[in-house]
Copies of this chain bind each other. A is one copy, B any other.
Amino acid sequence: MEMIKVLLADDHQIMLDGLKAIIAKDRSLKVVGTACNGLEVLEYLKKEPVDVLLLDLQMPGMDGLETTLHVKKSFPNVKVVMLTTNDEGSIIMSLFKVGATGYLLKNASKEYLIQGIKDAHAGKRVLSSHLTEKMIESLTEEPKIKEGTIPKITKREIEVIKLIAQEYTTQEIADTLFVSTNTVATHKRNLFVKMEVKNSVGMVKKALEWGLLDQR
């Protein structure tokens, strides 16, 4: 009987060891390799065939989402099962859009995990039960134009966001950028609309999510 070849990717060594130990117990599964980031995954796939890729959503550098995108592009036959602590309903859709086959919570039981790998290999959609509900919810929600797309934000606007994130007042920002407070207010106003937020707090939160404040 052919064993299902599994590749593990997680930035936590212990997680890798743990998963390996769990999967090793099942005779029809075989861990053929491990990786601790997205690049290593792609490197591995270039060399060796893999049936199922178990992927941590949160990883330094290329995260699970981006990795999936690349993997499915170059190796469409590989089934990707995302492993995560996250239970946000919103992200599931982008995951499946990007080509993932499954999405499991890290606090799933090991039986569920093993069954999930087998199901994914058979081409079945795999979803932690807690999440199924949430997904249906977010599907049945009114088709609001909410989209994961990050709008175009200009350099000047980013300067403004950064200063706001540093607790500057509008007056201080104006002084720093050598413009009037009116100008700063206008930038903020435009940003609120673009980013679909109500105030500076929401703006800074989204800016952080979108990685706008990363490079100082």
- Residues of A bordering B, CB below 8 Å: 11-15, 17-19, 21-22, 36, 83, 85, 106-110, 113, 164-165, 167, 197-202, 204-205, 208
Min CB–CB distance A201 → chain B (angstroms): 5
Decide if B14 touches A164 in the complex (CB within 8 Å).
Answer: no
User: What residue of chain B has the Cβ atom nearest to residue A208's Cβ?
Assistant: B208
Question: Which residues on the B side are within 8 Å of A18 (C-beta)?
Answer: 14-15, 17-19, 21-22
CA distance A167 to B198 in the complex (A): 6
Min CB–CB distance A189 → chain B (angstroms): 16
CA distance A14 to B15 in the complex (A): 8
What number of copies of this chain does the assembly contain? Answer: 2
- Interface class of chain A by DSSP: helix
Closest 6 pairs between A and B when the two form their complex, measured CB to CB: A18-B18, A21-B21, A167-B202, A12-B106, A12-B107, A167-B198
Question: Which residues on the B side are within 8 Å of A85 (C-beta)?
Answer: 12
Q: What 10 additional pairs, Cβ within 8 angstroms, besides A167-B197, A200-B201? A: A12-B85, A14-B22, A15-B106, A36-B107, A164-B201, A165-B201, A167-B202, A201-B201, A204-B204, A204-B205
Decide if B204 touches A107 in the complex (CB within 8 Å).
Answer: no
Min CB–CB distance A115 → chain B (angstroms): 13
Min CB–CB distance A57 → chain B (angstroms): 13
Decide if B201 touches A14 in the complex (CB within 8 Å).
Answer: no
Min CB–CB distance A158 → chain B (angstroms): 16
Question: Which residues on the B side are within 8 Å of A108 (C-beta)?
Answer: 13-14
Given A18-B18, A18-B19, A22-B17: A205 and B12 interface contact (C-beta under 8 Å): no
Task: Report which of B107, B164, B197 forms a contact with A13, defined as CB distance below 8 A.
Answer: B107
Question: Which residues on the B side are within 8 Å of A208 (C-beta)?
Answer: 205, 208
